[in-house]
Amino acid sequence: MKEEKVRLLFVCLGNICRSPSAEAVMKRLVKDAGLGDRIEIDSAGIAGYHEGDRADSRMRAHAARRGYVLDSISRPVCTEDFFDFDLIIGMDHRNIDDLKRKAPDLESVEKIHQMTEYSRNKLYDHVPDPYYSGAEGFELVLDLLEDACAGLLEFMNLSLSSNPDN
């Protein structure tokens, strides 16, 4: 039976703080679970103002302290993303509204979810933008992402094992 890949796209505003971190956290969880050949992971931004940039140096430094290497390069979300990815996961309510506005059809809208939907610790209903925050904002992003990505992996493990086509 052919094993289809599930493709995940994490999205935030600039694609230099939250979504590159989500990408790195999820890649590590997926690798540790031995699912690296089943799940593809990428990230993008609503806005293109940081296109071509590496992740924010503060975000990279905080992530590195937890062993994550943020190696993605910022790019804006494009129309093809809505066809290429199975789940498109935004970090806050504004990301979700913007993604819905960009979605080319109804099927694409159904792919849009918010990161905190998968949180196990339900203290936050979004992943706050850390750009103008201090160190605690970057640490909070990583705390929320580690929790929600673990929840997302649990959710995906269930759907991967219950779908006979996968």
CB of 49 to ligand 4NP, least distance (A): 6
Can you read off the two tokens belonging to residue 104? 């080319």
**14 vs 87 by CB, closer to ligand 4NP:** 14
The SS3 assignment for 156 reads: helix
Question: Which stretch of DSSP H or E encloses residue 10?
Answer: strand 6-12
Rounded to whole angstroms, the Cα distance separating 108 from 83 reads: 7
| Interface contacts to ligand 4NP, rule CB under 6 A | 12-18, 49, 129, 131
Where are any strands of DSSP class E within 94-159? 112-114
User: Which amino acids are annotated catalytic?
Assistant: 12, 18, 129
**Nearest CA-CA partner of 56 in 130, 152, 145, 3:** 130
CB of 67 to ligand 4NP, least distance (A): 20
**30 vs 142 by CB, closer to ligand 4NP:** 142
CB of 42 to ligand 4NP, least distance (A): 14
CB of 17 to ligand 4NP, least distance (A): 3
Alpha-carbon torsion (89, 109, 160, 44), positive or negative: negative
Which residues have a Cβ under 8 Å from the Cβ of 63 and sit 6 or more positions away? Answer: 21, 24, 55, 69, 70, 142
Cβ-closest position to ligand 4NP: 14
**39 vs 70 by CB, closer to ligand 4NP:** 70
**17 vs 142 by CB, closer to ligand 4NP:** 17
